[in-house]
A and B are shown apart, each in its own frame.
Chain A
Amino acid sequence: AQTVTQSQPEMSVQEAETVTLSCTYDTSESDYYLFWYKQPPSRQMILVIRQEAYKQQNATENRFSVNFQKAAKSFSLKISDSQLGDAAMYFCAYRSDSMYSGGGADGLTFGKGTHLIIQP
């Protein structure tokens, strides 16, 4: 079974600065996808960014980028120019895409989350 670990229960950053959230995972599979989700107080999960394991290039979405280290099984999220609206819980998630698991079923495995605080 896959596991996802987020070792930072809480992070704080000054507005306009850069912060990096850590995530490690454990899997024996070679084909999978990784995601970062944001959960604001409204509790609705919002996809921030995603990464295919077969791609070496790190994904980028505007101010959000990842550092994907497949050999180290590490998947960190960097938020540049932090804004007050970035304050939320951030969850790292894993999804298998192995042919042996039914061709990429949608069940996500989440970490415990990191609470991001933005200081004005």
Chain B
Amino acid sequence: DAGVTQSPTHLIKTRGQQVTLRCSPKSGHDTVSWYQQALGQGPQFIFQYYEEEERQRGNFPDRFSGHQFPNYSSELNVNALLLGDSALYLCASSLGRGAWRNTIYFGEGSWLTVV
């Protein structure tokens, strides 16, 4: 049973460019959330996708957008990259919204470096 998988593992982008990160949720999970973890900090919630719609959003600008596909996989897009966007981006999956009893599983993340 595959857990949450993310790609790519590492990538380097230039300031002003755009990046797309991908996530496949754990088998059977239908809800995907994205988090940004800067070096030395705790993860910060970006947004959550359920039934192919953004359901909840953290305090992130519109440069951060996402998408969820019918197979529940998800993409995180960041436009007009800034140096401050350099971070580990974590994807988390769960079954259903608000179903706290179902464990939230995290992937190993995608390291983004903006130069």
- Which positions in A face B, CB cutoff 8 Å? 4, 33, 42-47, 50, 52, 91, 93, 95, 97, 102-113
Contact = CB atoms under 8 A, between A and B. Distances in A.
A99 to B, nearest CB: 10
23 contacts: A33-B100, A42-B108, A43-B109, A45-B43, A45-B90, A45-B106, A46-B106, A50-B100, A91-B43, A102-B55, A102-B97, A102-B98, A103-B97, A104-B100, A105-B48, A105-B55, A106-B98, A107-B58, A108-B104, A110-B43, A112-B41, A113-B41, A113-B42
A4 B56 CA distance: 19
Give the 9 A-B residue pairs with the shortest CB-CB distance, closest first. Answer: A104-B98, A110-B42, A45-B106, A107-B45, A105-B56, A103-B98, A44-B108, A43-B109, A110-B43
Q: Main SS of chain A's interface residues?
A: loop
Contacts, number: 69
A107 B97 contact: no
Given A43-B109, A45-B92, A105-B48, A95 B100 contact: yes
Contacts of A46: 106
A113 to B, nearest CB: 5
A43 B98 contact: no
Contacts of A112: 40-42
